[in-house]
Amino acid sequence: MSEKIPEPEEPTVTDADVLDVIDTMEPPAVTVSDVSNVLGCSRDVARRHLESLHEAGQVKRRKTSGVVLWWRPRGEVTRPDPIDMGETNSVEETESFGQD
């Protein structure tokens, strides 16, 4: 009998963690994949936090060319040193993305 390999444990992510990623990215707009990559969490976890932050008015979003961009409203950002994400080719599925 083969043993089941346990799934890796999902890291604990808070809304504050997600806001820190947004505040340190250059340029100041992120994708779900950016947040997921930096925090080491699934895209679903990152998306849920971004949606929650959007509902609370802490982040804004815009769909462009099939990609959803997320950012903090102007005047609410204090930027620490930026995180260098390098080049990314991530395209996110936006079928479940609602209209604002």
Structure confidence by residue, pLDDT tens digits, 64-77:
888 999 999 876 54
53 or 99: which carries more pLDDT confidence?
53
pTM of the model: 0.57
Q: Is residue 20 part of a domain?
A: yes
- The total of structural domains in the chain comes to 1
Q: Is residue 30 part of a domain?
A: yes
What range does the domain containing 59 cover? 15-71
Span 11-63, pLDDT tens digits: 899 999 999 988 887 677 899 999 999 999 999 999 999 999 999 999 999 99
State the distance between the two ends of the chain, measured CA to CA, in whole angstroms. 52
CATH number reported for the structural domain that contains residue 61 in this entry: 1.10.10.10
Q: Is residue 98 part of a domain?
A: no
Q: Is residue 89 part of a domain?
A: no
Q: Is residue 4 part of a domain?
A: no
In this prediction, residue 11 carries a pLDDT of 83
In this prediction, residue 25 carries a pLDDT of 73
Q: Is residue 86 part of a domain?
A: no
Q: Per residue, what are the HEC states of the chain? A: CCCCCCCCCCCCCCHHHHHHHHHHECCCCECHHHHHHHHCCCHHHHHHHHHHHHHCCCCEEEEECCEEEEECCCCCCCCCCCECCCCCCCCCCCCCCCCC
